[in-house]
Amino acid sequence: MATTTLSNEEIRERIKTGKHMLFFTADWCPDCAFIKPVMPQIEAKYDQYDWITVDRDANIDIAQDLGVMGIPSFVGIEDGEEIGRYVDKFRKTQKQVEDFLDSLDN
């Protein structure tokens, strides 16, 4: 999982082509801290995606553009188009995230 914070512009440019999964999170978020330990396993299992960790606070423009208010949240993008989202304000388990990813047309 990348620890470098990308700018809004870098994220917008990166998601124009390819298959990406945006993981919206924030350092202060306890529900994000709950899922973070299993994220490397999830990312390895679903490696068809370019995983991009999006700091919701540093990238508030992207979050607002995509309508992401609650975190942790996941938004799938393929060639600049949204292919699915798991966006709400509730804690997510590894199984819930994997069920969401399995529901997408991989």
For 8-103, give the CATH class: alpha beta
Taking 60 as the threshold, does the pLDDT of residue 1 lie above it? no
Cβ count within 10 A of residue 20: 20
Q: What is the pLDDT of residues 12-38, one digit of tens each?
A: 999 999 999 999 999 999 999 999 999
The whole-number average pLDDT for the span 50-55 is 95
Q: Which residues contact 70 (CB under 8 A, 6 or more apart)?
A: 87, 88, 89, 90
Using a cut of 0.85, tell me whether the model's pTM lies above it.
yes
